[in-house]
Amino acid sequence: MARIKTDKDVTRREVITKAAASLFREKGYKAASMRDLAVKVGVEAASLYNHIRSKTELLHDICFNIANLYWEHMGQVDNSGMTASEKVEKLLRFQIHQMIDNYEEVYVSDREWRHLAEPYLSNYKNQRRTYRKRFASIIEKGIEQGEFKPIDAPTAVLIMLHAVNGIDSWHRSKDKITAEALEENMITIMIEGLRK
């Protein structure tokens, strides 16, 4: 029987989770099966259960790994002594890098989270909502301090997050600019759009 191949610092569970993210992005969570995942990993479907309990557990891990990563970064940035403009730029650069370098997991956590089971679904929705509110409060402080134009901060956050999610189109493009150029263009457009 084939064994799951891993690199030195990667566990078999991590290999399975990464393969699941790729599969869920390609087929969608509902359409993807454990048999499909076994083929992708190169093992018998039954041997997957030595490392994971279910497809649901994999979706949970993908979604909360990303959500927790974003939340931890938000805490570091928000509690720093940076200006509002610097904080927004730091948050956006982090999100852009995640969407470029960790694309499949971020894509799945953003598009397939609706299939989470309760109580995880409610927890995930709350975490997303709280993240957006905290991001908006940084923009609101920037408005109060005269760094940013007097705009509706929650709307600005939604626009920026949707722009970052749009990197999905960049991944699918056959004729695209470099990741570095993409990042710099996006930062210039979004940050300059906020500044007075």
Distance CA 84, CA 157 (A): 13
Task: State the average pLDDT over residues 98-104.
Answer: 96
Query: Structure tokens of 93?
Result: 């650069």
Write down all domains in the chain, each with its CATH number in brackets: 12-48 (1.10.10), 55-194 (1.10.357.10)
Quickly list DSSP for 89-100.
HHHHHHHHHHHH
Which pLDDT score, from 0 to 100, does residue 52 have? 85
Task: State the average pLDDT over residues 56-62.
Answer: 95
Which pLDDT score, from 0 to 100, does residue 12 have? 80
Least confident range of 5-19, 131-145, 153-167, 170-184: 5-19
The DSSP 8-state label assigned to residue 148 in this structure reads B
**What is the amino acid identity at position 134?**
R
Angle of CA points 73, 94, 71, to nearest 5°: 25
With beta carbons less than 8 A apart as the criterion, state whether 90 and 82 touch. Answer: yes
Task: State the average pLDDT over residues 155-179.
Answer: 95
Q: Band of the pLDDT at 6, cuts 50, 70, 90?
A: low
Quickly list DSSP for 40-74.
HHTS-HHHHTTT-S-HHHHHHHHHHHHHHHHHHHH
Task: State the average pLDDT over residues 97-107.
Answer: 96
Is residue 70 predicted with pLDDT exceeding 70? yes
Task: State the average pLDDT over residues 17-44.
Answer: 92
Burial (Cβ within 10 Å: 0-12, 13-18, ≥19) of residue 39: middle
Which pLDDT score, from 0 to 100, does residue 69 have? 97
Q: Band of the pLDDT at 1, cuts 50, 70, 90?
A: very low
Task: Please state, rounded to an integer, the average pLDDT across all residues of the chain.
Answer: 92
Report which of 156, 144, 62, 150 is spatially closest to residue 106, judged by C-alpha positions. Answer: 62
How far from 188 is each of 157, 158, 184, 194, CA to CA, in Å?
16, 17, 6, 10
Q: Band of the pLDDT at 152, cuts 50, 70, 90?
A: very high
Is residue 41 predicted with pLDDT exceeding 90? no
Distance CA 141, CA 148 (A): 9
Which pLDDT score, from 0 to 100, does residue 113 have? 97
User: What is the Cα 118 distance to its own chain's centre?
Assistant: 21
